[in-house]
Structure 1
Amino acid sequence: MKIRNRLFITAALLMSIGVYWLVDWIVQDVRLHYFITMEESLVDTSVILAAQIAQQTDGRGIHIDPTFGKSISEAVARTLDAQIYGFTKTNMNLRVVVVDRERRVLYDSRGSDAEGTQYEWRDTRLALQGKYGARASYEEAGVPDSFHFYVAAPVWVDGEIAGAVSVGKPVSSITPFMRQARVRLVVSSLIAFTAILLLLIPVSLWIIHPIRILTDYARNIRDGRKVTRPVLGHGGEMSELANAFEEMRDALEGKQYVEEYVQSLTHEMKSPLAAIQGAAELLDEDMTPEQRALFLQNIRNESKRMHGLVDRMLALASIEKRKGLVRAEPVDVQGLLDDVAGGLAPVLQAKGITLRRSVVPGLELYGEYFLLRQAVMNLTQNAVDFSECGGVIELHAETAGTEIRIAVCDEGTGIPEYALDRIFDRFYSLSRPESGKKSSGLGLNFVRQIARLHGGDVVLANRPSGGVEATLSFPV
């Protein structure tokens, strides 16, 4: 599926969910406010009727004036033609119930059948206690349209509560208004939703346009065509991607990677090949057995050097080609450093070097054990090569913020200033203090590739007290 379609479908789906949730929330909120308004009007009506009955009552109890019931009955029976925001109200659907202090029904606008019976509802009970009395209940079980709101007000006579008036209204009376509000809200939301979807079409095309340009650019590179880098603005992600394509193109067209390796390897091979050739030519001449053995040993040493150089080149190339870890696992740092120390024990003993280790207990990092061991081993071997006999090398492992750091510190000669910027270059090496020989110059570059493969890095710096501190850092 094309990215444009994915963007469009994802945006439409998210908007649909958002619109549905918003409409549902607004409808529920509107419904609640309709109920609040309805209950508030019932409060006013019940208080007015209670005050009217109180005016018609003496101290001997509530007295229902015949005109009271007659006026309400006539109002209920009257046909109305009230136009309310597009709706026509044809009748008054208000129910009025009057009870005395003992909650006996004195009047019911629905008829006289209930008069004299006990009215056990919550609204009148609370009103007779001088509290706010309200309830919501079904007049007929299982009939949704019979759901009513009731509010009762006490009838005060000479400072005492003589009875209560309960006024009720069916919730269905506001259903048309709620239905109209819901329909208007849904229609408005659908119109807005459709408008946004239509707007998404040019927006998606605007987003996809630079991707199409880059796709065509990549295809031209693949086909070997000479094309210029597309201009996609400055500083944006697409511009960075275009730069990456351009860099890739340069690497492919110029074969920089291959040329660099071939040239470097050729240069490094010249010295051992020349030594082997010279020794072989001398072997054709007459010489003592001791001299012949010396030249043969030189040939073996240079062959071994060439073999090691090729092996290191292959190992470095394999690391550089990898895009991630293959056999990653939790690695105990203490065990890792112990393993390195054990592997270098003969060399350390030969030079009388003391290797000190300090590790935070329980420290672990996630990675490939073999590669991590190679990295620490290379740094420690370098420290041994540049340390004097009887010196001290320290291995530290600790956490620093969100990193795990492994440091190798020596007391050697340090790194000359001119070499600091090139110390990680391939085939760049410094002469060893004792032998004056150089290594393959691939070890530190190999260490850097391992560190970056694990999401970390390596830094070398001269110590103020002398020597070098090499620090490997890995994410926790």
Structure 2
Amino acid sequence: MHLGIRILFGFFLITGLAGLFVLRIFVAEVKPSVREVMEDMMVDTANILAELAVDDLRAGNMAQGRFATQVGAYARRPIDARIWGLDKQSLDFRVYVTDAKGTVMFDSARVAVGQDYSQWRDVARTLRGEYGARATRQVYEDDRSSVLYVAAPVNYGGQVIGVLTVAKPVATVQAFIDRAERKILVSGFWLLALSAAVGMAVTLWVVYSIRQLRRYANAMEAGKKLPLPRIPGELGELARAMQAMRQRVEGRDYIEGYVRALTHELKSPLAAIRGAGELLQEPLPEPDRQEFAADVLAQTRRLQSLVDRLLELSKLEQRQELQQPQRLRLTEYLASFMALAQVDRSHIAIDLIASDSPATARIEADLLALALGNLLDNAAAFAPPGSRIRLGVEGQAIVVQDSGPGVPDYALPKLGQKFFSTVRPDGITKGSGLGLAIVQQIMALHGGHMQVRNTQPGLRVELHFPA
């Protein structure tokens, strides 16, 4: 399973469980909370009515007294109230009064007069001086059919002479409970959806950052150079630590490889210089002396060229990115390059092939001039005397084409490797093997690549730039 899927799954699992837990608590608390508020209001109502019922209960005239008349008028009152968007069109209180023995003396519903309610919890507890309340279901299996009863003592002369109970069906406030639960569920759904979106965004960011690190690590393993990924936080610190580690490892490998390669390349010219020097110590005819002296100078120039190119390549390999890039049209850049190339390389016949290509690239002009200079010098070394070298733009690439013998097919994949070189047309001399390595390194800094192929006759080198 991919890391992103695991992170996303874990986030959804945690968020889902937390959301479900919280929603269940909220929804479960709605109904009890509404009932608690309703009971609180009924306590006040019962105590007010108990004070109003004292005179009639004391006079034994509960059924026909003023209190009964007023409660009956209350029950017949028309009502049409809109409470927070919900309509109320009925008055739902039931009121009954018992004497000190628990016998019902008055019932606004007219169903319990004369019955013994002394064992009902609301009446029994109130007669004992306690808080009396109960909830009774009309249908045992249906909690929605519950009726809440709250009682208050009817006092006279410091004695409890009866109990007044106010009853109200829970179903009358069920619409408020249902609406509150719906709002909580809808809000919870949107909260979960928002949490999921945030989780997905965070997961994508983490996965993207980790993939940048993975791509950077893979490039390190393959020997490629990529700019350090810009990642904030701990992952950014990890990227910088990886870069530092890569630089230390590359520095060590770089030195070891260069020491081995340089030692190998220096053997031949040093041996030639040593041999010529030993011979020059002996008496020699003037022509031979001049020949050996010229050989010493030639090998010295070869060593100088080798050292100079090694220094150039070393500087390039230590760079991580272009320093002063400009976006230029390739055709315009070649035109400006040719103006200098014709002066610095007047011994090379170069033709600039006209092109109307609109291709552009991010270029560090001096670096690209160094690469093209190496290609021109290499082409001039292998091309027949008097032949011409063509330079132009094709698509998103700069092309250098000579008319020399090309290179053996087996050597094509190796071109660009440090110190790899083929014998020149004279069959004797070889180059430093660093010119194409420098070109390849410069193209890597530009984010492009070098492609070489035989064209019979000639060798074609293409420098491809990213669009």
TM-score by length of structure 2 reads 0.49
